[in-house]
Amino acid sequence: MGTTTFYLVSKGLTRFMLVFYDEKLVLLSVPKTGTSAYQEALQTRADLAITNPPELKHAPLYRYNRWIRPMFERVCDVELEVAAVMREPVSWLGSWYRFRQRPFMEGKPNATHGISFDQFVRGYCKGQQPGYANVGSQAKFLETQKNGCHVTHLFRYEDQSVIQSFLEQRLDVKITLQKRNVSPVMDLTLSPEIEALYRRKKPEEFELYDSTQ
């Protein structure tokens, strides 16, 4: 068993999709779920690493289903299992909020400087989201497709030991976790009113997360 050392939190890592043909596994990259560190470490272990263009390297399940899955099905007559990680919905928005608070975001239309976390989440719940709150959706990214294509292995970001164990066993590698460049801690407590609004407006986010129990 080989040893792969990587940084769980590392500035500047790029997300991309990885395919492990022999193990019949594809690893998607849901933004703000920490998968970039796994991908950085396992890139050379993969049979296919889609690093460009952005439309494919950041591909959600529906794009994987349309472009990548048919290639393996038609040419190799194989159906790959899909693995992905999602984050608790409030924490996920918190990660976006903190990211857009960084100094290099100052003055950009999607920056969150001068905006409270409550305001950020309220904006996310609007039908037409303001730029600072337009961050996509984990549920949409991972949505099961009409032809049955779905995420086979969905893990919680909060269960890192489970993710690590799965990858180690499936890929026959040893992954050593280390942390660095951890984002500053911020108070991301939502008011009861805004949390209730979030749960009411975006129930699919919480339902999908709860389904990983």
Kindly tell me the sign of the dihedral angle through the C-alpha atoms of 158, 159, 161, 167. Answer: negative
| 10: confidence class by pLDDT, cuts 50, 70, 90 | very low
Q: What is the pLDDT of residue 184?
A: 58
| Cα–Cα dist 24/181, whole Å | 33
Q: What is the pLDDT of residue 213?
A: 64
**For range 106-116, the mean pLDDT:** 93
Give the contacts of 161 (CB within 8 A, at least 6 positions apart): none
- CB distance 134 to 108 below 8 Å: no
Q: What is the CB neighbour count within 10 angstroms for residue 160? A: 15
**For range 60-71, the mean pLDDT:** 94
| 9: confidence class by pLDDT, cuts 50, 70, 90 | very low
Kindly list the distances between the CA atom of residue 7 and the CA atoms of 34, 37, 177, in Å, as whole numbers in the listed order: 10, 6, 6
Counting residues of the chain whose pLDDT is more than 90, the rounded percentage is 71
- CB distance 143 to 205 below 8 Å: no
Q: What is the pLDDT of residue 36?
A: 78
H or E segment to which residue 2 belongs? strand 2-7
pLDDT at 60 over 60: yes
Q: Which amino acid is at 128?
A: Q
Q: What is the pLDDT of residue 56?
A: 75
Which of the 8 DSSP states describes residue 20?
E
Q: Provide the mean pLDDT of the chain.
A: 88
Length of the chain: 213
pLDDT at 123 over 50: yes
The torsion angles phi and psi of 30, rounded to 5 degrees, stand at -80, 125
Give the contacts of 47 (CB within 8 A, at least 6 positions apart): 19, 20, 21, 22
> Shortest CA distance to 96 belongs to which of 130, 64, 128?
130
pLDDT at 8 over 80: no
Q: Which residues pair with 50 in a beta bridge?
A: 17
pLDDT at 13 over 60: no
pLDDT at 209 over 70: yes
pLDDT at 81 over 50: yes
| Cα–Cα dist 57/66, whole Å | 14
- CB distance 205 to 142 below 8 Å: no
**For range 140-154, the mean pLDDT:** 97
Q: What is the pLDDT of residue 4?
A: 45
| Cα–Cα dist 14/63, whole Å | 19
Q: What is the CB neighbour count within 10 angstroms for residue 39? A: 22
Q: What is the pLDDT of residues 14-57, one digit of tens each?
A: 568 899 999 999 999 898 998 877 888 888 899 998 877 777 77
Q: What is the pLDDT of residues 157-196, one digit of tens each?
A: 999 999 999 999 999 998 875 554 455 578 899 999 999 9
The torsion angles phi and psi of 170, rounded to 5 degrees, stand at -70, -35
Full-prediction pTM beyond 0.95? no
What the block records as the tokens of 14 is 């790029």
